[in-house]
Amino acid sequence: MKKQFLQWLGAALVAIAVLPVPAWATGYTQTRYPIILVHGLFGFDKIGPVEYFYGIPEALRADGAQVYVAEVSAANSTEVRGEQLLTYVKQVLAATGASKVNLIGHSHGGPTIRYVASVAPQLVASVTSVAGPNKGAAVADVLRGVVTPGSLSQAVLGTVVNSFTTLIEVLSGSPNDPQNSIAALDSLTTAGMAKFNLAHPEGVPATACGEGAYQVGGVYYFSWSGGQPLTNFLDPSDASMGLLSLAYGGATNDGLVGSCSSHLGQVIRDNYGMNHLDEVNQLLGLVNIFETNPKTVYRQQANRLQGLGL
């Protein structure tokens, strides 16, 4: 009898050890798997005191989240950025001993994290696309219409923008990732994203403005975005968001990405009073004071993942 009891006790302890920590025993943002934040076009981890995800990693870590900020090419195709991110994910897994990660990507970071989840779903617990142009961006279409493939204007634009993104990499102290602004532009057009979605369809809505599958291949898919280009008259970047929003012809957008295009998997919300920069708490926290603070939205998402045991 004693031997049977000890065997039962040992089995019970093993079972308890492999179960996820219950939510009541954790901090509000403490997820089972590490969170990796992934920047968009022209993005970086940190330049001096300025973070791309301004104040967001700290807000998540404050209540238990294990957060990493990836740095991939500031401008390149989704596939190139995706392979860079896949390498980074494997490094995080090796460093932490975790079996999976939760990926959160802003703007071009959205398709970038989708790539990793598509080619290596066994390494990814969840994908959260923040204003990802999952069906393309009208702004990219307009620019592609002006910059003809093979033209002098394309050569000049490519050289200037590649120089700019290389400077971003140098200032942020990142590895010398390859820069290809024309490949980035082509990736972000409606046609480019349509081609990408054929190869990586997970979570993409079948309808123009619906939701996609909530879970594919064991990976949970979420999305959210803003829908208000002008949000704070003190923010000098608002003017550019307002101007760029004209490309959408009145359709709801955040200044760079249409709300419907941002949909992926479970749509948390697509009309926050935020523009494309507000979604990462920029410029330096000058966001809409009448809307939920973006840091809070990230914290809520971490808590949502926690509730799912992720």
CA dist., res. 104 & res. 158, Å (int):
28
What Å distances lie between residue 236 and 20, 99, 241, CA to CA?
A: 45, 42, 10
CA dist., res. 281 & res. 292, Å (int):
11
Q: What residue has token string 């460093």?
A: 95
Whether 107 is catalytic is yes
Whether 276 is catalytic is yes
**Looking at residue 218, what DSSP letter applies?**
T
The catalytic residue among 186, 254, 270, 278 is 254
Q: What residue has token string 């010398």?
A: 176
CA dist., res. 286 & res. 272, Å (int):
15
The catalytic residue among 73, 77, 107, 129 is 107
The catalytic residue among 172, 187, 276, 278 is 276
For 121-132, give the DSSP string. Answer: GGGEEEEEEES-
Best CA proximity match to 302, nearest among 44, 59, 82: 59
Best CA proximity match to 125, nearest among 10, 248, 216, 38: 216
Just list the catalytic residues. Answer: 107, 254, 276
